[in-house]
Amino acid sequence: MNLARSPVAQKIFSEWHRCRGKKSGAFSRPFSCVWETLLESAKLLAASERTDAEKDVREFQSEGVLEIKTERYRPGRIAQITIPFSAEPVWFQAFGFSPFSGEDARKIKEHPWEPRLAFVANARVAIPFSDLLGIDEFLKQSREGDPVVPIKERSLQIFGDEKRLDSLVDSALFRAGCLRLAEDLRCEKIGVPFGWKRGPVSAAGNAVIVLENAASWHSYCRWNEQRGGFSAVVYGDGNRFLDSVRYFPELFEELGGVRPIFYFGDIDRQGLVIPQKASRSVREMGVPSMKPHLWSYRALLKIDNRHFQREEKEGDEDGESAPVWEWMEDCSFAAREIIVSGGRLAQEHLGWEFLRTISAMD
What is the CATH T-level fold of the domain 195-355, as seen in this structure?
Dna Topoisomerase Vi A Subunit; Chain: A, domain 2 (3.40.1360)
Q: Is the pLDDT of residue 19 over 80?
A: no
The pTM assigned to this predicted structure is 0.66
Whether residue 308 has pLDDT greater than 50? yes
Contact status, residue 169 vs residue 181, Cβ threshold 8 Å: yes
Residue 282 has pLDDT above 50, yes or no: yes
Start and end residues for every CATH 1.10.10.10 domain found in the chain: 1-97
- Tens digits of per-residue pLDDT, 216-250? 999 999 999 999 999 999 999 888 898 899 999 99
pLDDT of residue 362: 62
**Which residues of the chain does CATH 3.40.1360.10 include?**
195-355
**Are 192 and 186 contacting, i.e. CB atoms less than 8 angstroms apart?**
no
Is residue 73 within 8 Å of residue 240, measured between CB atoms? Answer: no
- Let me know if 86 is exposed, middle or buried by CB neighbors in 10 A (0-12, 13-18, 19+): exposed
Helix runs in the chain, H state only = 7-20, 35-42, 47-62, 88-94, 102-110, 129-141, 151-159, 164-168, 181-184, 214-227, 241-244, 248-255, 269-284, 294-301, 332-340, 352-355
Tell which residue, 205, 261, 201, has the closest CA to residue 234. Answer: 261
Please check the confidence at residue 176 and state whether its pLDDT lies above 70.
yes
**DSSP per-residue codes, 1-27:** --GGG-HHHHHHHHHHHHHHGGGTT-S
- Residue 323 DSSP symbol: -
Q: What is the pLDDT of residue 157?
A: 95
Look up residue 100 and give its amino acid. Answer: F
CATH number assigned to the domain with residue range 1-97, chosen from the 4 options 3.50.50.60, 1.10.10.10, 3.40.640.10, 1.20.1250.20? 1.10.10.10
Residue 41: pLDDT band (50, 70, 90) is confident
Percentage of the chain exceeding pLDDT 70 = 89
* Average confidence (pLDDT) over 34-43: 84
Q: How many Å is the Cα radius of gyration of the chain?
A: 23
Please give the mean pLDDT across all residues of the chain: 85
